[in-house]
Structures are given as structure tokens and as C-alpha cells.
Structure 1
Amino acid sequence: MNLGDVQKTFKQVYQQGGIKHFYKGGLIAIIGSGPAFSLYLTSYKYFKMQLGNKIESKLLLHLSCGLLAETVSGVLWLPIDVVKERLQVQKRFGYHNYSGSIDAVLQIVKKEGVLGLYRGFGATLGFFGPYSALYFASFEYLKEQTNNNALLSSLGAFIFSSILTQPLSVSKMRIQIQSRKMLENQTGEGLFNYKNQLHGIWRILIDEGIQALFRGYVMRCLYAGSLTIFNMTFEECSKFLQNKYLCYMLSSIFVLLFQYPHITMSNTLTLYYNPLSMPSRAVLTLLTLGNIPHTAKVVDLQKQENLTPEFTAINPCQGLPALDDDGFKLFESHAILRYIVNKYQLHDFYPKDPQEIAKVECYLDWHHTGTKLVSKFVFDHIIGPKMMGKPAPPDFEAKEKEMESILQFIEYVFLGQGKFKYVQNQPKMTIADLALIFELQMLFGFNYSFDKFPGLKNYVQHMSQVPQIKQANQAFYGMIKNAPLNDFVKALVQ
């Protein structure tokens, strides 16, 4: 997300609910943040005083005190975050029905116990602990170098610690999604299959490149920069207020007025999907490729969650994917793909020229009566009989011949006899490619080699190696990787 994206999102959220829309869950934060901030800085100063004579290295002292302060203040911080985040997303998720902050606390304690207010403490500490340690260590160092200039010291410390811990932030967020929305497949693995934060960082680096570890940095700058404002406010308050705890409280409330809009802006779009749904993966991949802030909510088809009244209100057809853009509901994958590229002006994935647009649209319209028959063949003759106990249709050879005629048409027409890198000879991957590739990959489950269509085989190979497509396919690959696979398919699903 760049600065332009932030401005667009800010405008969108304001139009949807006015200023108050930015401060959902603010009451509980205002009540708790003052004491939490007070405990945070008081703990830091306390540990610094207690350990000052025991740890000779200033760097190690400040690192240790920052980490300890974060741990202690988490006792107050985490319940605030749990309540605040549930209030902010309950409309989009539909998981809760809290009337306000106090009601949320009471319901959580009643249904989940007091420990329900401390969900995710380990993951939170795993990220904020190193951040606080690095922040205070660099803050103290910069104060010495700048003759106690609190503004420059705090700003420099924030930039330094944020850059170093951003990969932890990205990994932590994915692990939290994984733990909440575990999708069990035949291998018992989760959505991202990250064992811990370091393993998550390593997998992101290998699968998506180093730039993926720094996604969302602009938004985090706007959010975490409030710590700089806090320090400045505290410094100013302390000049005319003798009570330092009152300074902490006033500074905390002031920070919230700045900080809260950026929390609320972070996710305004919710995608309802299933990782085994091909159209779902196409939309999810576009959101990932376009760096669009979103919340991805898994709909369990085995539990028939798509048939519930709540989901039917989003998609009357009860299919996947479906989109809820803060009240604007949309279904049909191609409509969703078009909506996303137009709303966020993702011209890399959708051309501007009318003739080129028509070419992309030509494939998208043909897709439903053409390519969809390929995945239908796999479902009817492979997935249905082998995994769901459904009887196999008797016309296997005729349907296989029909399926291969479609593959031949795709190669000859849409891929220019195999000479085009992307559908309709577009210079870059478009939403037409996203619609196509996930359907073709269903043939992996059929152990299809694509040898009859070398141009199509090359297309499948290079598209399957796109990191975001590989990531979207994790659940599908986990389902088929233990089946007998030819060398071509095996190399792609590893």
C-alpha cells in the first residue's frame, strides 16, 4: 500500500460513515490506554533503574528494559486490543454481536473466560517485544547523539525499529490468520503452514521475494508513528504538569485521536472464499498481487456455511467467492475481479485500450462455457468418485475427448498456437489469466501431463511459478501431493 492508496482508503471510509467510522471500539481504548501507556513507560523506567547497576552495556540494558516493559504492559494492552479489534470487524465477519465496549468485555469473559481477553499474547509479544526493545535502545542512543532532542530521537528510533521488525509484523499477521482460520486438509496442514514467525519469514522470502516482507509498511508508519507523538506530548505536558502519571494519561488520549483512524482503515474489504475453490483463488491472488488491504474469511463448504442465512444475505446464489466492501456486496468471480481492478485502478491486470479490454472480456465471457468444462471433467471423473464417493459418469472417453478439444482451442486461439505468454497476447498477466490458470491446474489432480499441447504446457508451467499463485494453491497442492503424479506436475506442486 502506497501513500495514494492510504488517501483513497481514508476518503472511502469517511464517505461510508463519517469521522465516527474511524473510531470504532474507541471507548475501551480510551479507558484502558492511559493506564497501559503509564504502565509501559513506568515499567521501562523502573527496570532501567533496577538493572542499571547490573548490566554494564547500555545497549543491552535498553534492549532488556524495552522487552520487559512490553511484557508487563501487555497485561493491560492485550484485552484492549482484543475488544477493539472485535468491535472493528464484527460487522464484516458476523462472528459477534457486541453493542459496545463494555458489552464486548462481558460477553468475552462469559463465553471464553478471562483468558479470552488474552488471545494471541505469545504472537503479540513475539512482534511488539523486539519492536519495543529496538525502539528504546535506539531512542536512548539517539538522545545522546542529538543533545536530548526528543523529536529527532523518537522519530529516528521509530523508523529504525519499524524497518527491522516489519518482516515480523507480516509473518505475525499471517500466523494469526492461520491459527484462527485453520483449514484442515489431508495432510493436516494449515492455510500458510508456518510453524513459527521465523519459519514464516523464511517461506515468504523464498516464495514471494523480499519485497513481500515489507508490505503494509506505509500503513504501519502512520500507525506506529503515534509513539513519536506520544513522546512529544509527554515532553510538553511534563513542562507544566508535575504529575507524570497524568502526563501519561493525557498523552495516551491524544495519541488515540491520531492512531485510531489508521487502525480502522487497514481492512475495508472482506473476501469470502474457500482455498479449494478455483474462482476464489483467482480473486485472492489478484488482491495479493495488487497489495489490496483485505480480510479473507474462509467459508467451510463441508459444514455448509455457504447455506447459512448470514452468507445467503451476501450471496443469494450461495456460491464462492463473495465480496463485502463495507456494505457493498458482490458475487460472481469475474464481476469481483472487474470491480477490484476498476476500483483500485490496477491497470497492470486490466488494459486501458478499448480493443485490448474487449480481448480480455472475450475470454472471460467464453470461460464459463469453455474452460469451466475442464474443471467439471476433473470433478465428475476424479474428485467426485475418489474423494466424495459419487458414482463416475459412464462417458469417460467422450468427456475426455471434449475436454482436450477445449484445451486445444485455448492453446490455438487464446494463446496464439502457444506463442503468447499471456491470454490474448497481453503484455502482462491480466484477470483473464487468473481466471484461466486455476481451472487448468485442476488437471494436476488428474495427473495430466499436457504433452499433447506444448504451448499450453509452457503457459501452465510459467504461470504456476508465480509466487502469489503458488501461495493461493497451498491447500490444493496439499490435497494432491501424496497422489501419484508425473514429473511435470510433481515439480510444480513441490
Structure 2
Amino acid sequence: MKIDYYYMPLSAPCRSVLLTAKALDVELNCKLTNLLNGEHMTPEYIAMNPQHTIPTMDDNGFHLWESRAIMTYLANKYGKNDSLYPKDPKARAIVEQRLYFDMGTLYLRFGEYISPVRGKDVTLDPEKKKKLEEALGWLDGFIHTSGGYCAGKHVTLADFAIIATVASIEATGVVELAQYKHLSEWFAKCKGEMKGYAELNHDGAVQFGDFVKSKIAGK
């Protein structure tokens, strides 16, 4: 049976799971979930996920949310090898550190910077931009010292999580990514290497970027 997957393409965490499933050849039964219409607040949805967030997964009755937890679950259960999520404790720890970095630093700081876009003609806080740029600088260093990817010398789950965030940052135009040499090289390389990248990540990021740009003064 297919895995039911509740998501929105504008969401970077949702897109990271889509990239992971594609790489693992796992078929998802994608269920578009419109938060603006309250589709995440139905009794049925809350029974699956009391936090009523996206993405949410239903693997034949096993319910799981938080994108990075879903990614590691899929790799553990359906991975044909450990390339994406190494079994070696040290290599796995680096992948997990990058996943936590994305959740607790990079994606968090990006969200904090653009959070005012719920309004119209908003002005973004330059101090929060500096914090986001600091995080991107760290990421640039991670890629350089790791061997060309986020957590090693080839694509891992860390790259799927982080590229979804970076694609959203690029699409909004709030930071000039060209200033980060190693990050830019990695980004261009992964766009060509990741299966289904345009459909599963680029298009949703562009939609998100267009939404953000429509709210920022002068955009």
C-alpha cells in the first residue's frame, strides 16, 4: 500500500520529504493539505497528528510528523543501502548534526527573518538578516570541509533537508547566495543530481518566493 503524505508544496520541510522519497523509490500518496482552509484542523487529522502540522505521514496506520523524523524513518525502513543515512556512528552523527542545524538554526533564522510577511508592504529586520547570513556562512563552511556536500562527499538526507530551505531563500531573493562560493557550487550540483528536483522542490520554492515577494515593500 502507498504511504499517505499530507503536505503543501510551498513548505520547505514538506519538499525535503518528497526529495527523500524519490531518492528511495518510495511511492507516496500525496494529499494536498490547505492550512488556509483549515484542512489540518479536522478531527480526523488531529487524531493522526495532535500538533496538526505538515508534513504528516500515515504509513499504514503508523502516523509520524516533523519532516526530519519522516526522512530518517523512510531511509531506515526503505533504504536499499545506507548511502543517504549512514550506519557508521560518526558519519550518521554528522548527518544528524546538519539536520538539527537546518531545523534549529538555518530554517529557524530564515523563518524569523521573513515572519512579518503575514502583512502587506512589510519591512524586514536587517539584524535578523545578519543572523540568517551568519547561518549561511556556517553552511558554506560545512560544505567546504565536508567534501562538497552538506555532510560528506555525496548526497545524504542532510542535503535534502537543507536544499529545500536554501531553495526557498533563493526564491524569495532576500539574501544574495552568490556570495557563498561553496554553497553556490553545491546548490548548482545538487539541482542536477537529485531525482525530480524541479518538480519536487524548485516549483514549490518559486511559489513560496512569489508569495513572500508580494508582501515585501519595494518588491
TM-score scaled by structure 2?
0.85
Structure with the bigger RCO (C-alpha within 8 Å, sep 6+) is 2
Confirm or deny: 8 A CA contact 2:85 2:156 kept in the other structure: yes
Number of corresponding residues: 209
> Could you report, residue by residue, the CA deviation over 1:309-364 in whole angstroms, capped at 9, with x for unpaired residues?
11111111111111101111111111111110011134231112121111111112
Structure 2 vs 1, CA of residues 318 and 390 (structure 1 numbering), >3 Å: closer, same or farther? farther
Change (3 A) 1:476 1:363: closer
Separation of aligned partners in 1, 2:198 and 2:109: 20
Cα distance change of structure 1 residues 393 and 273 upon mapping to structure 2, 3 Å threshold: same
Alignment of 1:122-271 (within 5 A): 267-271=1-5
Matches within 5 A, 1:376-455: 376-377=111-112, 379-380=114-115, 384=117, 388-389=118-119, 392=122, 396-412=125-141, 414-416=142-144, 420-425=147-152, 427-447=153-173, 448-455=175-182
Q: 2:144, 2:205 → 1: CA distance?
A: 29
Partner of 2:87: 352
Give the number of the structure whose residues are more often strand, by fraction. 2
Partners of 2:101 and 2:205 lie apart in 1 by 25
Greater fraction helix:
1
Counterpart code for 2:154: K
Cross-structure match for 1:330: 64
CA RMSD of aligned residues (A): 2.4
1:468 counterpart = 2:196: yes
Q: Whose radius of gyration is greater, 1 or 2?
A: 1
CA distance in structure 2 between the aligned counterparts of 1:393 and 1:481, rounded to whole angstroms: 16
* Alpha carbons of structure 1 residues 344 and 460: separation in structure 2 relative to 1, 3 Å: same
**Is 2:24 aligned against 1:296?**
no
Is the contact made by 2:151 and 2:159 (CA closer than 8 Å) also made in structure 1?
A: no
Q: 2:217: which partner in 1?
A: none
Quote the offset at 1:368 in angstroms.
2.2
Which whole-Å deviations, capped at 9, do the CAs of 1:144-169 have from their partners, x for residues lacking one?
xxxxxxxxxxxxxxxxxxxxxxxxxx
Secondary structure of 2:134's counterpart equals helix
Deviation at 1:477, TM superposition (A): 2.3
Unaligned runs of 5+ residues in structure 2 are 214-219
Structure 1 274/368 Cα, relative in aligned 2: closer, same or farther at 3 Å?
same
Identity percentage over the alignment? 27
Tell me if structure 2 keeps the 8 A contact 1:375–1:440: no
SS of 2:30's equivalent? strand
**Whole-Å Cα distance in 1 between the matches of residues 112 and 212 of structure 2?**
18
CA 480–268 in structure 1, closer or farther in 2 if over 3 Å, else same: closer
Q: Is it true that 1:310 corresponds to 2:39 in the alignment?
A: no
- Which of 2, 10, 19 lines up with 1:285 in the alignment? 19
- Name whichever of 449-458 and 402-411 sits farther off: 449-458
- Please list every run of 5 or more consecutive structure 1 residues that lacks an aligned counterpart in the other structure: 1-266, 485-494
Equivalent residue number for residue 102 of structure 2: 367
Shift of 1:297: 0.8
Within 1, Cα distance between the matches of 2:119 and 2:179? 30
Deviation at 1:278, TM superposition (A): 0.7
Query: Which secondary structure does the structure 1 equivalent of 2:63 belong to?
Result: strand
Relative distance call for 1:482 and 1:364 in structure 2 (3 A) is closer
On the 8 A contact 1:380/1:393 being kept in 2, the answer is no
Are residues 478 and 446 of structure 1, via their aligned partners in 2, closer, same or farther at CA, if it must alter by over 3 Å? Answer: closer
With over 3 angstroms needed to count, the CA separation of the structure-2 counterparts of 1:479 and 1:392, relative to structure 1, is: closer
Against the structure 1 CA distance between its residues 365 and 459, is the aligned structure 2 distance closer, same or farther, given a 3 Å change threshold? same
Runs of 4+ in 1 over 6 A off after TM superposition: 481-484
Deviations 1:244-266 (A, max 9, x none): xxxxxxxxxxxxxxxxxxxxxxx
Q: Taking structure 1 as reference, are residues 482 and 303 closer, same or farther at Cα in structure 2, changes over 3 Å only?
A: closer
Match status 1:457 vs 2:168: no
1:445 Cα deviation (Å)? 3.1
Answer whether contact 2:113 2:132 (CA < 8 A) is retained. Answer: no
Match for residue 198 of structure 1? none
Q: Confirm or deny: 8 A CA contact 2:9 2:205 kept in the other structure.
A: yes
Distance across 2 between alignment mates of 1:461 and 1:481? 21
Partners of 2:130 and 2:136 in 1: how far apart? 10
The letter for the 2-side match of 1:272 is Y
CA contact (8 A) 1:323 1:330 kept: yes
